[in-house]
Amino acid sequence: MNGITKIEQRVKDLKEVAIVIDNWDDVFSDFDPRPLNKRTVSGDFIDELKKRYRETSGGSFSIAIYAPTALKNAESERMVTQRLKKHFRLLFLQKKKDHMRRRLRGALFICIGISSLSFLTLATYFKFLSKLSIEIFSIILMPLGWFGFWEGLSKLIDTSPAFIQEEKFFEKLSKASYQFGYIEKG
């Protein structure tokens, strides 16, 4: 026996975040006058999930929302679950798109850098420009080439850990299971 059962491993992998709300305005923005099914997700709600996510950042993710029994409604639960999953999926896809855009810019910078340095090297070697022209071009192209090359590598390789963590956070929330519990006010 390896010391840990499948059930214990499942419990260890499943992370539940419990949040208590007073009304749906705690989940959706109360500044948004549209009906509940069209409101934007509250920034405070997302911030609270981020705090809790940092505390439990591994395995599957489950969100338990506890509300007063007056809010109990199967249709509302379904709508809230769909809206949250859709919202977090869109945020995840946006982060992924931003990451790809940064990498493409990095590749473009590298191409510009290599092109600048290559042109300068070829002009010097084959002397198809006058010596004065080559010197003038080298003043511009040498720094541009090295900057483009190194900055491009930086954009390709170095992605901030916070950016990656936020991307993973939104991906987990888009795939999370959402459960609702109800409590008596009293």
Strand, helix or coil for residue 34: coil
Asked whether the predicted pLDDT for residue 11 surpasses 50, the reply is: no
**Token couple for 87:** 């919202």
**Token couple for 68:** 């007063």
State how far the Cα of 67 lies from the Cα of 52, in Å rounded to an integer.
18
User: With contact defined as beta carbons under 8 Å apart, do 63 and 174 qualify?
Assistant: no
**Token couple for 88:** 């977090």
* pTM score of the predicted model: 0.79
Strand, helix or coil for residue 19: strand
pLDDT, tens only, 51-69: 887 655 566 778 999 999 9
pLDDT, tens only, 151-181: 999 999 988 888 898 999 999 999 999 999 9
Residue 108, Cα to own-chain centre: how many angstroms?
Answer: 23
pLDDT, tens only, 101-146: 999 999 999 999 999 999 999 999 999 999 999 999 999 999 999 9
Asked whether the predicted pLDDT for residue 71 surpasses 50, the reply is: yes
